Amino acid sequence: MDSEGQGLDMLFTNNESLLNELNKNEFTNYKLQKPLVSICLITYNHARFLKISLDSIFSQKTDFDFEVIIGDDCSQDGTQEIIKPYLEQFPDKVKCFFHPKNLSKTYTQFTPGKLNFVHGLYNCSGKYVVHVEGDDYFTSELKLQTQVDFMESNPTYAACFHNSLMKFEDGSSQIDYLINPPDQKSVITAEDLLAEREMWFMATAAVMFKREVVNHLADWFGRSKSGDIPLYVLLSQIGPIGYIPKEMSVYRRHDAGMSYTDNRHHADFVLNRMFMYKHLNRQTKKKYNHLIKPIQAEFYEFLAESDRYQHSTFNRMKFMIRSMWMGGTGGELKDKLEKMFSPADLLKLKRILNKLKIIG
């Protein structure tokens, strides 16, 4: 157990009313005897993609039992009608929660989509879990078997992932590409994840991980907009993460969702990332402070450049000082400051920095 909390099991045990409220939305009540793998399928208005995803799951060829835990966050586009035939066809494999109210709007202490995920994860009973969004799908019938074989052969590993195709269906002219390069490292550690500075290289549906990580997901996880970053770093505290050089799933890019580059200009996004890294650093007992501190410094700089503080010289100056204090800003400090502040404000800033002995 971590010092930041006692995991999802304890979260729901201590909040029995929340668990009861969510569990009463269960559409089925099957009793599968201890599946080896749980597919945690999260859906919200995925009607136009979901059948392909479900078919790819139920076409898996395995020598073990697996279950599918579906959490639908009050979809309004017919998603639930697509799911229902699979409940009838596979009653021994599927447990589904049709939430009558959107959980993000009902339980605002959680970031959008997070409660649906953590509740689905809590209900997974397999030794291993694969988290799938309703718009992604598997492209190999042996995906689950391949990953289980890897995990069973490498019992000290916390997770494994494989290559995935990034498929653009957003109307852009971007060309589909494989997420992982030919020289992708075969073993991933926390250092690799944090050194990448949010360079995403593990597609969600490509990862199979040990369910025991739920004991390490503290309550702050539910307030972090990012799920993958903290999940994978915390998994790496259990054991290494292995890479399987096979393409076995597709990650769809189908809407105009903002990229990391766009989001960094929005204060709410930046502040939430700073919140996440602060708690991640604390939970890992600052073991990776040398990697997290430069990231935090960079986010202070983003905050100074964000939309909310464009007309607040005091706050922008404060954030830049904090960034420099933590060793941030890189080698373009002069240009950045000249664009951000007037000559008079720059003089004030220089005096402060001299006083703090940040610059000579």
The CATH number that applies at residue 53 is 3.90.550.10
Report if residue 1 sits inside a domain: no
Looking at the structure, tell me whether residues 67 and 175 fall in a common domain. Answer: yes
Instruction: Give the pLDDT confidence score for residue 171 in this predicted structure.
Output: 73
Q: What are phi and psi of 104, to 5 degrees?
A: -65, -30
Same domain, 210 and 347: no
- Domain assignment present for 150: yes
Whether 147 is in a domain gets the answer yes
Same domain, 222 and 158: yes
Instruction: Tell me: do 80 and 225 sit in the same domain.
Output: yes
Same-domain check for residues 140 and 62: yes
188 Cβ neighbours under 8 A, 6+ residues apart: 161, 202, 236, 240, 241, 242, 243
Query: What Cα–Cα distance (Å) separates residue 206 from each residue in 62, 109, 152, 160, 327?
Result: 17, 29, 17, 8, 35
Give this prediction's pTM: 0.88
| Phi, psi (deg, nearest 5) at residue 58 | -80, -5
Residue 13 has pLDDT above 70, yes or no: no
Of 190, 223, 257, the one marking the end of a domain is 257
CA distance 268 to 302: 11
Mark which of 224, 257, 290 sits at the end of a domain. Answer: 257
Alpha carbons 83 and 71: distance in angstroms, whole number: 11
Q: What angle do CA 76, 254, 47 make, to 5 degrees?
A: 30
For the chain, what is the total number of helices (H) and then of strands (E)?
15, 10
pLDDT in tens, 21-72: 888 788 776 666 789 999 999 999 999 999 999 999 999 999 999 999 999 9
pLDDT tens by residue, 303-337: 988 989 888 888 888 888 888 777 765 556 666 77
| pLDDT tens digits, 79-126 | 999 999 999 999 889 999 999 999 988 888 888 889 999 999 999 999
pLDDT tens digits for 69-79?
999 999 999 99
Residue 246 has which token pair? 């096979």
Q: Does any domain span residue 243?
A: yes
Q: What does the mean pLDDT of the chain come to?
A: 87
Specify the number of domains making up the chain.
Answer: 2
Tell me the pLDDT band of 1, cut-offs 50, 70 and 90. very low
CA 159/CA 238 separation, integer angstroms: 9
Which of 189, 191, 197, 190 has the alpha carbon at shortest distance from 294? 197
**Residues 232 and 284 both lie in one domain:** no
Domain edge (last residue) among 206, 223, 257: 257
Beta carbons within 8 Å of 85's beta carbon, 6+ residues apart: none
**Do 226 and 278 sit in the same domain of this protein?**
no
In a domain? residue 174? yes
* Segments forming the whole domain that contains residue 335: 261-355
